[in-house]
Amino acid sequence: MATSCKPRIWVACLHCYNDGSLVGQWVDCTDAADVTLAQLHGGAGGPYTGCEEVWCLDHENIPVPGEMGLAEAAEWGEVHEEVGETLWPALFAWVESGNYTSVGRCLPSTLDFEERYCGRDRT
């Protein structure tokens, strides 16, 4: 079975995390926008007193270091869908090189990536 290089995030409930328990799970970035508290807490109903903030404490197949919010993770999911599974490693390398064009804070510009990757002369 081929390993997928889909970007994924480990989403945690910050309140539970600060309380010393790791409540969270891996989700695909494309599902980041739909993460619910019930889902993170194992669907046990609730209410989850004090639990409201969720945060991505870890991630994989995303070429930038550090933690991020769900909105940013969702955007990475969109970038992955635009670029596609085949070209993702190339985009990954492009971003990791640090020498890439970004839109917003750190998301790569897929337009620029496609132009560069296809080797078109831009001059």
> What is the binding site for Zn ion (CB under 5 A)?
13, 15-16, 23, 48, 51
Residue-wise burial string across 71-92, b where 16 or more C-beta atoms lie within 10 A, e elsewhere: ebbbbbbebbeebeeebbeebb
Q: Which residue lies nearer to Zn ion by CB, 50 or 84?
A: 50
Sign of CA pseudo-dihedral 37, 40, 43, 45: negative
Nearer to Zn ion, 11 or 79 (CB): 11
Nearer to Zn ion, 16 or 79 (CB): 16
Amino acid at position 40, single letter: L
CB of 31 to Zn ion, least distance (A): 19
CB of 42 to Zn ion, least distance (A): 10
